[in-house]
Structure 1
Amino acid sequence: MTNLSVRKFFAAAAAMACLSFVPHSALAIAPGANLPDFADLVDKVGPAVVNIRTTSRVSTASGQRAVPPGMDEGDMSEFFRRFFGIPLPQAPNSPRGGGRGDKGGRGDRGGSPDQSDNGDGGEQNNGVGSGFILSSDGYVMTNAHVVDDADNIYVTLTDKREFKARLIGVDDRTDIAIVKINAANLPSVTIGDSNKLRVGEWVLAIGSPFGLDNTVTEGIVSAKGRETGDYLPFIQTDAAVNPGNSGGPLVNMQGEVIGINAQIYSRTGGFMGIAFAIPIDEAMRVAEQLKSTGKVVRGRIAVSIGQVTKDVSDSLGLPRAEGALVSNVEPGGPADKAGIQPGDIILKFNGAPVEADTDLPRMVGDTKPGSKATVTIWRKGQSRELPITVVQTLPEKVAKADAHEAPAAKARPSNPLGVTVSDLSADQLKSMKLSTGGVQVEAVDGPAARVGLQKGDVIVRIGDTDVSSAKQFDQVAAHLDSQKMVPVLVRRGENTQFVPIKPHTPGK
């Protein structure tokens, strides 16, 4: 080895020796140097995030509700809501678990009904959720399912002040609700633009998972425009969202609210790395109408639509799979009057492309009733334009009356499960291979809505009884024990699973 080679060898060895004495912590700093610091964002947004607790009036004679141990009914509804097939241990007549704490925590004011002094009844906690203050005068936004069927709504601020809130309005279709508390000079959030959101951006979720107030989790935007079968596409994120986070804000790195945490995908009831938020631009459009009138007015053209698959587009000569396939036209409705027929494919609405069937309801819904529009359809190998007049959708749920006013009657299916069903045709039963029969869900309310049943689901069995007709369904449902969970075998798409439902007490 030459002198030059020897010098190079010892120089390299010395460098390696020095490197070995560098503290590991110093080496670990470099890769994380560009990670964001969320502390300032939490200081900015956190005070405007609230805890929402709901209660219902109960009679002392009714006893406690049957729910699985370690859970309250609000948790159960959130586990099952919207995402079908989340397992739940059945434990009829079990005591209620703590809703705002974990195993021996505070619970929902103790986790048991607060009975009134006269013995005639009291309040029982339904569950907890989250929300955020829109304006300093006390308007709060949350999810509709957080306040659904509540007789009383309580909003707790980060400074521990609690207010009884008044429900301004709810929109079940987008799962948005606005409540109002009697307070002033409140901290409020800054509203961002969800259209500018990019996949991969850092985001924060703030809320009350499992009742743990003002909990902060972070993640990134996993996807945009995620379709989950509801009215609007969602923001998908991997920020940890759990039961109780519903209604809380999703915040970007500028401290702006760009979404409302609303749903999780889960096989266990807890977070599995996928959560969904309602885009704030749509939420604010809904909020303005709720604040003005207590309800949301949307347009409709009275058609039933389905997906345009590649096989369908190829067979019809469409260049690509796009648009909405018309499966049914309501007689005498706007589409019928415009000349739209079953089998047509709607390619554009008012000049805007309909990329997928889920786009059309949003486009039509955002159109003011009474407006003239143009629909571009594909029929028999060619496109044509048809003029159409948009009409108003059927009335949806409006704000409940104030506590000092007589509450308006709330229409609901008459059976204890809260489900309206219709018979399936022989062809439908054959195509779904339902040898024992089944009925199709047409409307849901109360117990069925809380566990996530939807219009279009097929009920195959109640308990051990196969359901063969709508008449038989009503007879079986009418005799269910309101104190016990009943397993209902439900088919949605290609999947069939039991969903436990607690029937409501007749007359309630």
Structure 2
Amino acid sequence: MAAGDTAMTPCRRALLYPVFLLAAVLLAAATGSAQPSPAPKGAPAAEPERLLQALEHAFASVADRVMPSVVNVSVKPRKTASSESGEGPDVEQRFKEFFGPEFFDRFFRRRGPRDEGRAAGSGVIVDRQGYILTNNHVVEHAAEIEVRLSDDRKFKATLVGRDPKSDLAVLKIEAPPASLPVAALGDSDTLRVGQWAIAIGNPFGLDRTVTVGIISATGRTRVGVATYEAFIQTDASINPGNSGGPLLNLQGRVIGINTAIVATGQGIGFSIPVNMARDIMAQLIARGRVVRGWLGIVIQDLTDDLAAGFGLSAAHGVLVSDVMAGSPAEAGGMRPGDIIVEFAGAPIKDITDLQKRVAAVAPGYPAALAVIRDRKPARLSVKIGEQPAEETQIAALQKEESLGLTVESLTPEAAERFSLSARAGVVVTAVAPGSSGAAAGIRPGDAILEVNRQAVADLGSFRRIMASVKPGEVMPVYVQRGGGGNEYVVLKAPEKP
């Protein structure tokens, strides 16, 4: 976790705890039920002791080999007019709920007089070209990023790209390739529960701290940290400042990127699997963003009660509660009330499973779906679209606010409520007095059908168009008046957003 960015419960167990536990198990196995003969004087050390020495050597070797590639990431946050914690209220509330108010206050609000408004986290060098893996939440509010290596060299880092939906980011420093120590990446798909796990990071500013535990679980979802989750759970101690540091196996290979810990528990930490991190890093380096497949549906879990109501014997699958107008799902014939039980030949267990599988399909490729519709099986083929980027949506929301418009999707219910004949577009629900929208003559109840000669199919397309509007740009907007006819109005974007 970033020390100036999240606050977590410290894990106070020492490194020796798992070693003593292993010693007890080995000694018990060595003694067994029968009493062994006394060892003669001068006999070699007992087998358990030799095993513990070998394990100690393995831990030390991993630390020696990998610690040079673990870096300290220091971030100077962008200045905002938000709370004294330096975060927006939504981010502050998110971390308060997950990590607990006590530790949030301790690490966000009670800063000493020497604090210079910098947040710290960890990262790991994974390529001799200077690429560094870390967490998105370590750098998402950064105005400046500085990376300090184990030999105390400092570099200004460039943000190559970040992916809020997986909480990953990639940085780059400019240094002679031969001078950079690089960590080797492992294979997180082969992990087994019970394997040793070693975490290295900079908790509480204590550089390159090593902690040890085991893999407690794999494929953890619904943790509430990211949109796409399949976390490795570990009891290796992870604390504020560890975020972005590596989780390693006994071979010294990176198996995860440390991300979060549950504040109300002990020894419950989470790491992003390195196979997921590797794929996302490749996309961020190649294009600066992550491209994911998209259906354009609103979904909910299929509970036992809902399954019974839809005539299913078991709650397997995902219920479609809405289909976005103009979306790939609508074009493929999907309807509200469909229950998706199979995607691309694989059975669907729940929402997380479907999201992961859809996101993995490249936009433009068709995908076969099996659904239950009106208690009967049906098969559909949907051409997968590209998921709108979060940054695009945020930019569009800011544009909507600056124009003084509040809009929502034009559903059949909204069309009936405002006496509109249009079946695609967005409906205006509020217009701020004195805003650009009000000056253009846009009124609540109007449907926006076209902006800047681009058709508006739904809320998603409206926001994609608005995100590209430049400050001061004048654009024609085609509207349908509630209960009246269609007409063009001229809307001018404010000079400053």
TM class by smaller structure: 0.5 to 0.7
What's the CA shift for 1:345?
1.3
User: Is the CA contact (8 Å cut-off) linking 1:172 and 1:397 kept in structure 2?
Assistant: no
Paired residue for 2:338, among 327, 344, 352? 344
> Can you list the C-alpha shifts for 1:77-124, whole angstroms capped at 9, x where unaligned?
7995385361137979x98625xxxxxxxxxxx8334xxxxxxxxxx4
Paired residue for 2:101, among 68, 87, 105? 87
Asked if residue 45 in structure 1 is aligned to residue 43 in structure 2, the reply is no
User: Which one-letter code corresponds to 1:289 in the other structure?
Assistant: Q
Partner of 2:379: 385
Asked if residue 257 in structure 1 is aligned to residue 260 in structure 2, the reply is no
Change in Cα spacing, 1:247 to 1:78, as seen in structure 2 (3 Å) is farther
User: Is the CA contact (8 Å cut-off) linking 2:96 and 2:104 kept in structure 1?
Assistant: no
Instruction: Give secondary structure in 1 for the equivalent of 2:390.
Output: coil
| CA distance in structure 1 between the partners assigned to 2:292 and 2:87 by the alignment | 32
User: Which one-letter code corresponds to 2:149 in the other structure?
Assistant: L
Change in Cα spacing, 1:169 to 1:18, as seen in structure 2 (3 Å) is closer
| CA distance in structure 1 between the partners assigned to 2:327 and 2:47 by the alignment | 70
User: Which one-letter code corresponds to 1:176 in the other structure?
Assistant: L
Partner of 1:111: 114
Partner of 2:194: 200
User: Which one-letter code corresponds to 1:40 in the other structure?
Assistant: S
The percentage of aligned residue pairs carrying the same residue is 41
User: Which one-letter code corresponds to 1:306 in the other structure?
Assistant: Q
Cα RMSD between the aligned structures? 3.9
Structure with greater proportional helix content: 2
| CA distance in structure 2 between the partners assigned to 1:78 and 1:42 by the alignment | 34
| CA distance in structure 1 between the partners assigned to 2:310 and 2:334 by the alignment | 17
User: Which one-letter code corresponds to 2:207 in the other structure?
Assistant: D
Tell which deviates more after alignment, 76-85 or 383-392: 76-85
Asked if residue 234 in structure 1 is aligned to residue 231 in structure 2, the reply is yes
Q: Pairwise mapping of residues 318-333 of structure 1 onto structure 2 (< 5 A)?
A: 318-333=312-327
Asked if residue 148 in structure 1 is aligned to residue 166 in structure 2, the reply is no
> Can you list the C-alpha shifts for 1:320-342, whole angstroms capped at 9, x where unaligned?
32221112211221112222222
| CA distance in structure 2 between the partners assigned to 1:414 and 1:389 by the alignment | 30
Partner of 1:159: 151
Change in Cα spacing, 1:339 to 1:97, as seen in structure 2 (3 Å) is same
User: Which one-letter code corresponds to 2:352 in the other structure?
Assistant: T
Change in Cα spacing, 1:80 to 1:306, as seen in structure 2 (3 Å) is closer
Instruction: Give secondary structure in 1 for the equivalent of 2:290.
Output: coil
- Return the TM-score normalized by structure 1: 0.63
What's the CA shift for 1:66?
3.2
- Return the TM-score normalized by structure 2: 0.64
What's the CA shift for 1:18?
7.8
> Can you list the C-alpha shifts for 1:369-409, whole angstroms capped at 9, x where unaligned?
111111111123232110101111112339xxxxxxxxx98
Paired residue for 1:130, among 122, 126, 129? 122
User: Is the CA contact (8 Å cut-off) linking 2:99 and 2:262 kept in structure 1?
Assistant: no
Instruction: Give secondary structure in 2 for the equivalent of 1:235.
Output: strand
Partner of 2:175: 183
User: Is the CA contact (8 Å cut-off) linking 1:295 and 1:397 kept in structure 2?
Assistant: no
Instruction: Give secondary structure in 2 for the equivalent of 1:360.
Output: helix
Change in Cα spacing, 1:239 to 1:139, as seen in structure 2 (3 Å) is same
| CA distance in structure 2 between the partners assigned to 1:265 and 1:413 by the alignment | 36
Q: Which runs of 5+ in 2 are unaligned?
A: 1-34, 409-495
Instruction: Give secondary structure in 2 for the equivalent of 1:81.
Output: helix
What's the CA shift for 1:27?
11
User: Is the CA contact (8 Å cut-off) linking 2:98 and 2:263 kept in structure 1?
Assistant: no
Q: Pairwise mapping of residues 403-482 of structure 1 onto structure 2 (< 5 A)?
A: 412=398
Instruction: Give secondary structure in 1 for the equivalent of 2:305.
Output: helix
Paired residue for 1:66, among 77, 84, 109? 84
Q: Which runs of 5+ in 1 are unaligned?
A: 1-14, 99-109, 114-123, 399-407, 423-506
Change in Cα spacing, 1:349 to 1:253, as seen in structure 2 (3 Å) is same
Q: Pairwise mapping of residues 250-289 of structure 1 onto structure 2 (< 5 A)?
A: 250-267=247-264, 272-289=266-283
Instruction: Give secondary structure in 1 for the equivalent of 2:65.
Output: helix
| CA distance in structure 1 between the partners assigned to 2:278 and 2:195 by the alignment | 22
Paired residue for 1:376, among 353, 370, 375? 370
User: Which one-letter code corresponds to 2:84 in the other structure?
Assistant: A
Partner of 2:388: 394
User: Is the CA contact (8 Å cut-off) linking 1:65 and 1:95 kept in structure 2?
Assistant: no
Change in Cα spacing, 1:145 to 1:410, as seen in structure 2 (3 Å) is farther
User: Which one-letter code corresponds to 1:43 in the other structure?
Assistant: D
Paired residue for 1:355, among 349, 356, 369? 349
Instruction: Give secondary structure in 1 for the equivalent of 2:68.
Output: helix
Instruction: Give secondary structure in 1 for the equivalent of 2:256.
Output: strand
| CA distance in structure 1 between the partners assigned to 2:381 and 2:274 by the alignment | 32
What's the CA shift for 1:232?
2.1
Partner of 2:20: none
> Can you list the C-alpha shifts for 1:234-261, whole angstroms capped at 9, x where unaligned?
1111110011100011111121111110
Change in Cα spacing, 1:139 to 1:58, as seen in structure 2 (3 Å) is same
| CA distance in structure 2 between the partners assigned to 1:339 and 1:141 by the alignment | 41
User: Is the CA contact (8 Å cut-off) linking 1:52 and 1:154 kept in structure 2?
Assistant: yes
- How many residue pairs align between the two structures? 362
| CA distance in structure 1 between the partners assigned to 2:114 and 2:407 by the alignment | 35
User: Is the CA contact (8 Å cut-off) linking 1:96 and 1:112 kept in structure 2?
Assistant: no
Partner of 2:491: none
What's the CA shift for 1:311?
3.3
| CA distance in structure 2 between the partners assigned to 1:77 and 1:331 by the alignment | 30
Asked if residue 310 in structure 1 is aligned to residue 310 in structure 2, the reply is no
User: Is the CA contact (8 Å cut-off) linking 2:72 and 2:123 kept in structure 1?
Assistant: yes
What's the CA shift for 1:304?
1.2
What's the CA shift for 1:210?
0.9
User: Is the CA contact (8 Å cut-off) linking 1:325 and 1:345 kept in structure 2?
Assistant: yes
User: Is the CA contact (8 Å cut-off) linking 1:80 and 1:86 kept in structure 2?
Assistant: no
Instruction: Give secondary structure in 2 for the equivalent of 1:45.
Output: helix
User: Is the CA contact (8 Å cut-off) linking 1:259 and 1:279 kept in structure 2?
Assistant: yes
